[in-house]
Amino acid sequence: MCASETHTGSKALARMEVVEGDITRMAVDAIVNAANSSLLGGGGVDGAIHRAAGPELLAECRTLGGCPTGEARITGAYRLPATYVIHTVGPVWQGGDRGEAELLAACYHNSLEQARQKGVRTIAFPAISCGVYRYPVMEAARIAVREVREFLERHALPETVYLVCFGPEVCRAYRRALEEIQEGR
Ligand code: ADP
């Protein structure tokens, strides 16, 4: 287990918090969905988000015509406590030499950019690609923390980014990644 929140040192890092829990319950302006490229629902966090949002979410997703890996699309959040869902498609881990790191970084960057354009102040991310897509969790955590920090250094919005861990392994990885970045490693 890890503490419910992790506050960090520098200015951009102080706007990033690690929380353990279910992203569908977060009352933030936007939650990010680790979707598949059809945007028509799936298992894991995607299934949980669609179940909690209700069928209107799927109806809106059908109008979007899918989303390529690394990109992001924004919809309403319907019955969720959030205002928006930002759907992004993480890479499937294939050993690391198929551009997975760049694609995962793009998911974070493009989701944050979609959020910024809507004036989103608070946003919650799941550990994109760390479930069915099998991305090594520690490597994914380093990419998440680095991309989010870079974005926050350049932009005032979103104000706060929650990295939501579903279980202690992801939580530990985020905490370690934050420590490494704080120590300049
Ligand atoms: P991907 O296909 O991108 O790997 P998954 O949904 O399989 O997506 O897993 C991504 C991460 O989301 C995993 O760490 C998984 O444990 C986590 N997850 C699953 N359900 C939830 C939830 N309700 N809230 C937050 N995270 C979740």
pLDDT in tens, 55-110: 999 999 999 999 999 999 999 999 999 999 999 999 999 999 999 999 999 999 99
Q: Using CB atoms within 10 Å of the CB of residue 176, give its burial: 0 to 12 exposed, 13 to 18 middle, 19+ buried.
A: middle
Q: Which atom of ligand 1 is closest in space to residue 135's alpha carbon?
A: 4
Distance 110 CA to ligand 1 centre (A): 19
Q: Using CB atoms within 10 Å of the CB of residue 136, give its burial: 0 to 12 exposed, 13 to 18 middle, 19+ buried.
A: middle
First to last CA, the chain: 24
Distance 125 CA to ligand 1 centre (A): 10
Residues in contact with ligand 1 (CB, 6 Å cut-off):
22-24, 34, 44-46, 48, 90, 126-133, 164, 166-167, 170
pLDDT digits (tens, 9 = 90+) for 118-161: 999 999 999 999 999 999 999 999 999 999 999 999 999 999 99
Residues 6+ apart with CB under 8 A from 160: 15, 16, 17, 121, 122, 123
Domain residues for the domain of 16 are: 4-182
Domain count, the chain: 1
Residue 160 near residue 121 (C-beta atoms within 8 A)? yes
Q: The domain spanning residue 122 has which CATH number?
A: 3.40.220.10
